[in-house]
Amino acid sequence: MEKEKIRELVAEMTLEEKAGLCSGSDFWHTKAVERLGIPAIMMSDGPFGLRKQDDKADHLGINDSIKAVCFPAGCATASSFDTDLLEELGETLGEECRAEKVGVLLGPAMNIKRSPLCGRNFEYYSEDPLLSSRLAGAYIRGLQSKGVGASPKHFYANNMEKRRMTSSSELDERTEREIYLASFEQAVREAKPWTIMCSYNRINGTYAAQNEEALTHILRDEWGFDGLVVSDWGASDDRVPDLKAGMDLEMPSSGGINDRKIVAAVQDGTLSEAVLDTACERILDIVFRAAEAQAEGCGNFDREKDHEKAAEMAKECMVLLKNDGMLPLRAGEKVAVIGKYAVKPRCQGGGSSHINSSRVESFLDAVAGMPGIFYKAGFDDASDETNEGLLAAAVKAAEEADKAVIFAGLPDLYESEGYDRDHMKLPPNQELLIREVAKVQPNTAVVLHNGSPVEMPWIREVNAVLESYLAGEAVGRAQKELLYGEANPCGRLAETFPIRLEDTPAYLNFRVEKEKVHYREGVYVGYRYYDSVKRDVLFPFGHGLSYTSFEYTGMEADRTSVTEKETVKVSVSVKNTGDMEGKEVVQIYVAPPESPVGRPAKELKGFAKVSLKPGEEKTVTVELDRRAFAYWDEQLHDWKVYRGEYQILAAASAQDICLSCSVQVQPEASAHTIYTRNTALGDIMADPEAMQKLAPILGRMKQESQPETEQSEAEQSEAGKEAITEKAQQEMMLNMPLRALASFGGVSDEQIEQILGMLNN
């Protein structure tokens, strides 16, 4: 419906109808206004399957939803590094939603993985905001191409489950912009989601639903978002301030309580009716978009066909972490299959994203009828305690086999929405099983089922590790095809696997202190931290092995010097040098020059997944714009590019740099820092243009304070001693604020103001 007609419709509504439109009619539906022909639309949980509930609604995955297809979770699809896959997933879910008359699917979930302990990490994409935002953007485009609205969540800085409805995420402006807002930014700007879900938590003391800076100034004014903001279910603390801040739709129903508050606020003048009208216009725009799409016809919900898609997607997501030669398995080998998850795989997480799967295909289902396969349970995931009988039977079977494959992972109770993990370990009975089997069988592989990294103190004792993540209902078929070499592993880690929990950047701060969560690690999240402090990790960001090999050659940039307004295209050739078709993920990182501002050693700024037949070579090109070189300047409240030579790195992972080239970047004059009386001289001297202005003044000061005199031999002999303090003197001068020129250089306050005017002009 045209916006002008929507405005006319809002003008016909009573105050009570307007207020009522701003909250749900029940748990999943918006309110209808029948007298004006305004329909209700249904929202449903996602984001990697349709969790439509007909009755007994809840937001925690307690009650069953309709039978649907469970696709790989966000932790898995992110490891595909494949925007086409995410777009196809969005399209498929859009068809399912249309068939079930769902107008908005609540997803994708795209909060940053600040710590491996977050209980909801299995839903989220990555520790890297660029990867998260690009994958989410593809998902949104696919979903909305079918006339179903997306709702990226949870906006923003919602990175732990403990006290999520009341705690305050305390973080500085630069950290917000470079990491936590950046995860949403590109997806919002480019994919144009119909809605955005604000998070439960407070941000620097203000509830996300009442954060006008985020919901209006950044989201709408700066990024151009033109949809509606919906609350997370129950996230509204005070409905009237919510509306003023830009939170349009409260879900679920408040039973009329908050509707009456809105009416009273308009009547007593504390809320402008124009603000309420704007919220109604945004809501109706989405309501009619969804209703018009449904009127065009139903989508196709073929559960069997979509199960096949889920299997194909799962193969693209799994990551071969280690392989010392035992994989792929060969037909006819005697293989001991050990572990409960080979029979009943853990393929999804718990909470609001839990799908009532139409079917689940296990590894044993997939290998049914193959000779040489025999199964032993090994452990019971209902308990962490070792069952000696199950353990002994598994060890004996492994000893008699050619190879052993252990299907291990985190039980359902270890990770879920609503609470965080206490540690990164597998259950002790599983760790013992792995070690005991590896003692008797050198060809032991571990297949993991988990939504977040786990510690692997047994890693040197096993031959191979396949990370399945939570790969959806067709997990078993994908595992079989990858383990037997019918498909080539091509997933890459979208997060770092640390050696120990204590190594993680947020280890000391991942806690609630007096209702506050302090993000003291700042921008040093994930590989940005590990690479900057040169800390060893178990498996780096971007890591993943293949059954073939790849060679990088011919890296070059289309220009060696650019201004910050120009883009640079970086190309690199990749060749499959093995004998099996495979896919490589080319990762492009940018390493900044030395600057007065602390920056991570390198940051991901582009990536591409390329499929190559044996001997085939292709050239990958990635375009880098201004943001690839910029950091957020808290003084300017804007992105700033620092002058210098930037290294462009082509890599197979964050720690596997294959080739590099350099680009000289020249910032625009408008990007200058605003200097003050308290700016250190060293900061000014680091800016070449500023130094051109300041150098003559400093030169005159030096001449005035050090008149030429002839030195005696005795004085010259003392020069060596004085040189000892020269470095200290230099450092003191570099750290001296500009105002100190009045005390040490005889410069008046008026002259300092003139210098500032010259520098800031």
Residue 357: Cβ-neighbour burial (10 angstroms; 0-12, 13-18, 19+): buried
Separation between Cα atoms, residue 738 and residue 2, nearest integer Å: 58
Sheet of 168-170: strands edge to edge? 206-207, 202-203, 168-170, 516-518
Write down the residue that tokens 């889920």 correspond to.
310
DSSP state at residue 42: B
Separation between Cα atoms, residue 675 and residue 677, nearest integer Å: 7
The active-site residue, picked from 45, 82, 128, 232, is: 232
CB 434 within 8 A of CB 441: no
Q: Are strands 168-170 and 195-198 parallel, antiparallel or unpaired?
A: unpaired
DSSP state at residue 688: H
Tokens of 626: 């201004």
Separation between Cα atoms, residue 502 and residue 307, nearest integer Å: 40
| Cis amide prior to 341 (ω within 30 degrees) | no
Write down the residue that tokens 């039977």 correspond to.
393
Residue 365: Cβ-neighbour burial (10 angstroms; 0-12, 13-18, 19+): middle
Tokens of 668: 């625009």
CA dihedral 195, 200, 202, 208 (to 10 degrees): 20
Separation between Cα atoms, residue 108 and residue 45, nearest integer Å: 10
Spell out the residues 6+ positions from residue 726 whose beta carbon is closer than 8 angstroms to its own: none
CB 466 within 8 A of CB 321: yes
What region, left, alpha or beta, does residue 297 occupy, with left being phi > 0 and alpha being psi -120 to 50 degrees?
left
Provide the 10 A C-beta neighbour count for residue 704. Answer: 10
- 3-class state of residue 101 by DSSP: coil
232 is catalytic: yes
Separation between Cα atoms, residue 594 and residue 110, nearest integer Å: 31
Spell out the residues 6+ positions from residue 385 whose beta carbon is closer than 8 angstroms to its own: 429
State the Cα angle at 91 between 85 and 94, rounded to 5°: 140
Write down the residue that tokens 């498929």 correspond to.
92
**Distances, alpha carbon 474 to alpha carbons 20, 88, 205, 436, in Å:** 43, 16, 43, 30
Spell out the residues 6+ positions from residue 543 whose beta carbon is closer than 8 angstroms to its own: 319, 321, 492, 493, 497, 652, 653, 654, 655, 656
Separation between Cα atoms, residue 313 and residue 159, nearest integer Å: 26
Tokens of 666: 């020249």
Active-site residues, by number, are 232
